[in-house]
Amino acid sequence: LAVLGPVPGAPSCPHGPALLFVKTSQGKEEGRRFYACSACRDRKDCNFFQWEDEKVSETRLAAREEYNRNHQPSFTHRQNVDRYKNFVRLPSSKRRFCQECQQLLLPAEWEKHSDHQFLCDITTAQLKSPSQLLYPLENKKTNAQYLFADRSCQFLLNLLIDLGFRRVLSVGTPRLHEMIQSKASQEEEFSVRSLLLDIDFRYSQFYTEDEFCHYNMFNHHFFGGETARETCRKFLYEENGERVIMVTDPPFGGLVEALASSFKKLMAMWRETEEEGHDNKEMPMFWIFPYFFESRILDFFPSFRMMDYQVDYDNHALYKHGKTGRRQSPVRIFTNLAPSVIVLPEEEGYRFCTVCQRYVSSGNQHCEICNSCTSKDGRRWKHCVLCKKCVKPSWFHCNNCNCCTLQKHSCEKTDIGCFVCGKAGHKRSACPSLS
């Protein structure tokens, strides 16, 4: 399956304009093109589907618009901001949060939610940490709200401050956003500000329109229309577009092509700022994603480099720091900033390689032949003379396949080509079916 991207005049589902797709075989288009939901890869979550050349009747169009309207949140962002103001004025004994509806409740609404589970005595601290109050949406392909562990979040924030950034465009990073908001409200001299762009509308209950925009990062859709787009533009324009960075942590099951397309549009929005000389520059960016997507990300952003820092998550069973071998978090920071300025914590085992001019993990030894620190996963990799590159320590050179691979593998497969789909013409890392 290949994504052909957002197309002008595309039909919409409740998640905004649909994306155009086509089935491919050996790199060639095959079959009819069709539109499907940009955000949900699983038809159970959003079953929108339309052939590109399909004629849709007026009746069906009207029914679709009605469906889209009915699937919008029950309150607008403005209404949620007003409700929050009323909620904060209540004594703590009257502050309730409905766990089933994921909603702050005002006393007049208690009756309607009487048979629901709810939390009582909501504190100001809880209101300042909505990512801990709301339950995470863990659908891997749509929301995948695996939230940064405190260690990673604190590291990222300290790094941004050390690098001199004053504004953070937080795209799908609610925990980083709330850490910035919380520090700004507690410490007078704290000068960093954040704008959260996220598809999870529940956050509109806790943040004003200047702090949160309901946004779909798969199709660059602002649900709040031109007003929300203007909020984002203004945020990027401040200080002539200087000292702003975008930090994004997309769902790992998401389509890299669609994400890259949206991120380029956000960068273009920044490039329009008044500052001369932005034309050929990229907005500084941290894209947080697993290391095995490196080649895909570099296809779209050749100026990016992958850092060795392991990002870990609170509510993910595997992506935890400090485990060894294959169990270490595979999540890394991809950035267009010079690797030499990104200082990684030595107390966590990172060291500076003077040849590569960047911080690397302690197990990442410099290979004299490749003249580079080659490990991607934190383990020490070994150089294969026949492959002319470093490979994972568990791999061995197979003369039948003429490459390094796992010791237990079936050589027949490699004759066919890609390990994932079995087709020739590409390797597993570039397989379209991985999308």
Q: What is residue 246's predicted lDDT score, i.e. its pLDDT?
A: 98
Per-residue pLDDT reduced to its tens digit, 87-121: 999 999 999 999 999 999 999 999 999 999 989 99
- Residue 350 CA: distances (Å) to CA of 323, 359, 362: 15, 6, 5
CA-CA-CA-CA dihedral for 228, 260, 198, 173, to nearest 10:
-130
Q: What is the pLDDT of residues 350-403, one digit of tens each?
A: 999 999 999 999 888 898 889 898 888 888 899 999 899 999 998 999 988 889
Question: What CATH number belongs to 150-362?
Answer: 3.40.50
The domain spans of the chain are 2-71, 77-122, 150-362
For the entire predicted model, the pTM comes to 0.87
Q: What is the pLDDT of residue 8?
A: 86
pLDDT at res. 139? 53
**pLDDT for the residue 32:** 83
